[in-house]
Chains A and B, each alone.
Chain A
Amino acid sequence: MDESRARREIWIRPVVVWVALCLLLAATCALAYVPMGNGNLPVSLCIAAIKVALVGLVFMRLFENNPLNRLAAAAGPIWVFVMFLLLGADYFTR
């Protein structure tokens, strides 16, 4: 296949993701102004989580990558979770 097409091919996936990211950004920004009481934070964080997942899987190529790197990447969230869980053991029972 000719080069220019190949060059275009390269863009497709990342751009799709990028568009998705922008849409999510717009969404979270808009939703922030909708009164949901305590709902706002969870919503915005969920959206953030989705965005992070997109960047991680596609841009950082965890998707195509070997399991080893995926394992490494997973360690981060897991340990953060542990930290919050046990902090909660104190703060939510004080």
Chain B
Amino acid sequence: MTDTAVNSAMPPDYLHDGHTLRSWLLSTDHKRIALLFVFSITVFFFIGAVAIGIIRLELLTPAGDLVSDDTYNKLFTIHGIVMVWFFLIPSIPATFGNFLLPLMIGAKDLAFPRINLLSWYLYIGGAAFTVATLIAGGVDTGWTFYTPYSTMFSNTAVLTAAMGVFVVGFSSVLTGVNFIATTHMLRAPGMTWFRLPLFVWSMYATSIVMVLATPVLAMTLLLIMAERWLDLPIFDASRGGDPLLFQHLFWFYSHPAVYIMILPGMGVVSEIIACFARRRLFGYSFMVYALVAIAVIGFFVWGHHMFVSGQSPYANMVFSFLSFMVAVPSAIKVFNWTATLYRGSITFEAPMLYAFGFLGLFTIGGLTGLFLATVPIDIHVTDTYFVVAHFHYIMVGGTVSAFFGGLHFWWPKITGKLYPESWARLAAILMFFGFNLTFFPQFVMGYLGMPRRYHAYPPEFQVYHVLSTSGAAVLGVAYILPLFYLIWSLRYGAAAGMNPWRAKGLEWQALSPPPRDNFLSPPVVGEPYDYHPQEGPDAEGDAA
């Protein structure tokens, strides 16, 4: 079926059935809800970004002269809270996941459309609390809410902040429930488990973590609120409580949560690489097992955040070992992506550039994770910029790159328009260099002893901070660019057609943008990623 077949008899695409605000805010269409999320997380990304922008400027000089120390503490706290819970965790699942999961398995919608809408309202509810926190003067506990500081000592809006995270937590639980049920119940005839695109698998694995980990965070925050507000003794050491218990509960969620943040990125990248290498994903089944393995083993390693906390040294051994084990499935994925390129027929459109960026940066971030899992090294670098660099390499270099990759890859499907390729490539490259300039120096200063969450620092570190800040400026520009040319493309972009990338996968069998019920005729399900006849080259590919 080609575009010319798209005549006026067609149902309107999802963007055009209903134009009232109501038809958006009360829509149960997974595609519209996905867009609602896109807007919301973009807003919060920039809130978090501005916060850190100011911090980076502050850190240009050793003396804390730009903002007061209290302000500084509030800035990195809000940066952490916003970026983790209001940007990165929903970033891919709630947007592309929402939009593509039904399309990719050939369904009309998610299993529980109304609950899906509820997820968004819960997100907004939590967001409201977070904004309220800002208005109330901010919160200064760090995104980790460590007790007793958060419960007995801080005199900032801890309650509101905790409440915000508490509420948004249920949003991701419900999203998880929805995705799992959908994947089990609504796969099109012929769409067997081992024909699912890896993106769907990654959503499935992510959902497992969301459902099993998030409630523990919710309860932990509840305890925090109870101790702070009702003054019930729970973690307060002076009344017999154990602050480490809080850390255990918090990390029981927050380590798995980091996999909530990376697995979706892995899914996106798998789709992109296969498409632009015109190649079957190498070791599909291993990729699947790896995803699930990461999701499960990810629950066993939380103690590696507590090596110097005063937890038993024997526990340190256990958690260190398990942390090494969780690295293995990630390794498998990296190798498979690389092997997929072999004998491919590769082109370098923007999504592929982002995918390459992901490969490199995630690997660096992951490998430095191994340093941190090594107890003696971690004792030295924990709570230094080495850690800060580690997780930005994965979360920003990895997931955010994947997010932008996905955004460009599915932009034609979501909006029906093509984005301007050359600008996109420019942004991708800027982002890559800006990123490394920002965060690589942080590894160095971290190992040299620069503690994190420091408002003022010894002058010998200044050079590194200046490099880092200049990188952040570049990065900032690179993030703002897409905003312009993507919006531009909405109006002036060329019509995309159903499948501009000649990609496989059911979502490309729907019109762009798809109608309310996604498919006009039931999609034909085939093997995943069959970009080429058995093991052979991609004929059309080479013709080009």
Contact = CB atoms under 8 A, between A and B. Distances in A.
Nearest to A87: B248
Interface residues of B, number: 17
A68 B193 CA distance: 14
Contacts of B311: 90, 94
B315 interface: yes
A82 interface: yes
Contact of B212 (A68, A75, A91): A75
Interface string A65-94: 000100000010001001100110111011
B314 A89 contact: yes
B7 interface: no
Contacts of B299: 79, 82
Nearest to A83: B252
A75 to B, nearest CB: 7
A82 B300 contact: yes
Interface of B is mostly: helix
A87 B306 CA distance: 12
Chain A interface bracket (under 10, 10 to 19, 20 to 34, 35 or more): 10 to 19
Interface string B311-353: 1101100110000000000000000000000000000000000
Contacts of A83: 216, 252
B366 to A, nearest CB: 22
Interface of A is mostly: helix
Contacts of A75: 212
Contacts of B300: 82, 86
B325 to A, nearest CB: 13
A74 B139 CA distance: 39
Contact of B315 (A68, A79, A82, A90): A90
Contact of B312 (A68, A79, A82, A93): A93
A75 B248 CA distance: 20
B490 to A, nearest CB: 42
B248 A68 contact: no
Contact of A86 (B184, B244, B302): B302
B303 interface: yes
Interface in B140-186: 184
Contacts of A94: 311-312
Interface string B184-199: 1000000000000000
Q: Which of B216, B248, B306, B315 has the most CB of A within 10 A?
A: B315
Interface of A: 68, 75, 79, 82-83, 86-87, 89-91, 93-94
Given A83-B216, A86-B300, A89-B315, 12 more contacts: A75-B212, A83-B252, A86-B302, A86-B315, A86-B318, A87-B248, A89-B303, A89-B318, A90-B248, A90-B303, A90-B312, A91-B312
5 contacts: A82-B300, A86-B303, A90-B303, A90-B312, A93-B314
Interface of B: 184, 212, 216, 244, 248, 252, 299-300, 302-303, 306, 311-312, 314-315, 318-319
